[in-house]
């Protein structure tokens, strides 16, 4: 028991230290690293980025990268603003799985519950990446209409698009400022501006930003007035954001109800285990109670997934 507990504590401390040292570094260095990796041809970006950085990973990591698993994880980390290596993130996931497996075995004394806690602990880094990604994309979308207004004003004042983006970088903070700083770095070392904006769209997959990228490409090929297009885009983006907030407001009650219904059994079980432990001992130690608990956990997860799916609005 002491060995399992020590192993779990070591895994958690090691994961925390790895995250701390991997996240260090200035925004300028991160922007230069992103610019250096993204200014290669598209086929090299898709195939050789991982292989060149981690030549010692072997056939297993190469096969996973060809299956788009590591590539999807890398893109999600970039979209979340996390520029650590994919191998480090995989190490964190494996350590979290080991810590959860040991903790579940110590607490439940059941293989299936231990495996479930291990999988839950392994999913936590992925959930953290998704949380960072959503928060970063939301912050980017909030800044985008004001950035479009600034670009429009700069273009109407007679500045070029590159100069307008330089003003934008100096006026806006992360994440919008850092992303457009990366675009300028790529353009400075020879990448065409439309291509640099398309690469930024991979890091920030926002539909509102896609409209700006299309507008710049059309202006480059046709030569229309970019200031008028950007001004119209700013109005469209604000209308889309207003519609998105209205949808969230209309579905807030149903989403909160689903969260309460999903979390209520867990809260009640936890309170009963504190107030009257004899009521819940049968669920954790009796074989029939463990089967009932497994069925209840599976049904609760299925209900949460169903409610979330029903409340998803595509527009």
Is the pTM higher than 0.85? The answer reads no
Tell whether 161 and 255 lie within a shared domain: no
Residue 108 and residue 6 in one domain: yes
On whether both 255 and 245 belong to a single domain, the answer is no
Domain boundary among 87, 109, 134: 134
Query: Are residues 7 and 122 located together in one domain of the fold?
Result: yes
Q: What is the CATH number of the domain that holds 201?
A: 1.20.81
Does the pLDDT at position 8 exceed 60? Answer: no
Segment of 11-15, 129-133, 282-286, 292-296 carrying the highest mean pLDDT = 129-133
pLDDT in tens, 173-208: 888 888 899 889 988 888 888 888 888 888 888 888
Is residue 159 domain-shared with residue 262, that is, in the same domain? Answer: no
133-187 pLDDT per residue, tens? 889 988 898 889 998 999 888 888 888 888 888 888 888 888 888 889 988 998 8
Residue 94 or 63, more confident: 94
**Same-domain status, 148 and 130:** no
Segment 99-119, tens digit of pLDDT = 888 777 777 676 777 787 888
User: Would 226 be classed as within a structural domain?
Assistant: yes
In a domain, 315, yes or no: no
Judgement on whether residues 55 and 156 belong to the same structural domain of the protein? no
* Count of domains for the chain: 3
Domain containing residue 73: 2-134
Q: pLDDT value at position 49?
A: 29
In the block, which residue shows the tokens 């969260």?
A: 259
**Tokens representing residue 299 in the block:** 């049904």
What is d(CA 46, CA 65) in angstroms, rounded to the nearest whole number? 10
């Amino acid at each position: 028991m002491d060995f399992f507990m020590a192993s779990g504590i070591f895994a958690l401390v090691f994961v925390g230290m790895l995250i701390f040292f991997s996240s260090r570094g200035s925004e300028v260095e991160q922007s230069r690293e992103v610019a250096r990796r993204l200014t290669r041809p598209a086929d090299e970006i898709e195939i050789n980025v991982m292989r060149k950085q981690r030549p010692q990973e072997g056939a297993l990591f190469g096969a996973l990268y060809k299956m788009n698993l590591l590539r999807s994880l890398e893109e999600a980390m970039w979209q979340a603003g996390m520029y650590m290596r994919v191998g480090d993130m995989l190490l964190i996931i494996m350590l979290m799985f080991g810590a959860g497996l040991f903790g579940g075995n110590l607490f439940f004394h059941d293989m299936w519950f231990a495996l479930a806690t291990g999988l839950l602990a392994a999913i936590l880094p992925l959930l953290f990446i998704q949380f960072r990604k959503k928060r970063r994309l939301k912050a980017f979308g909030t800044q985008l209409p004001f950035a479009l207004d600034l670009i429009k004003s700069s273009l109407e004042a007679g500045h070029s698009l590159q100069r307008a983006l330089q003003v934008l970088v100096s006026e806006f903070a992360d994440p919008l400022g850092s992303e457009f700083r990366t675009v300028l770095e790529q353009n400075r070392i020879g990448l065409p501006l439309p291509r640099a904006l398309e690469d930024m769209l991979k890091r920030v997959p926002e539909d509102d930003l896609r409209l700006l990228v299309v507008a710049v490409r059309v202006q480059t090929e046709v030569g229309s007035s970019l200031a008028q297009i950007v001004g119209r885009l700013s109005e469209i983006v604000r209308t889309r954001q207003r519609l998105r907030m209205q949808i969230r407001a209309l579905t807030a009650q149903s989403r909160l109800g689903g969260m309460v219904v999903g979390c209520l059994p867990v809260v009640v079980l936890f309170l009963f285990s504190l107030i009257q432990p004899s009521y819940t001992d049968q669920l954790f130690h009796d074989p029939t109670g463990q089967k009932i608990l497994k069925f209840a956990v599976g049904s609760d997860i299925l209900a949460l997934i169903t409610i979330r799916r029903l409340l998803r609005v595509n527009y």
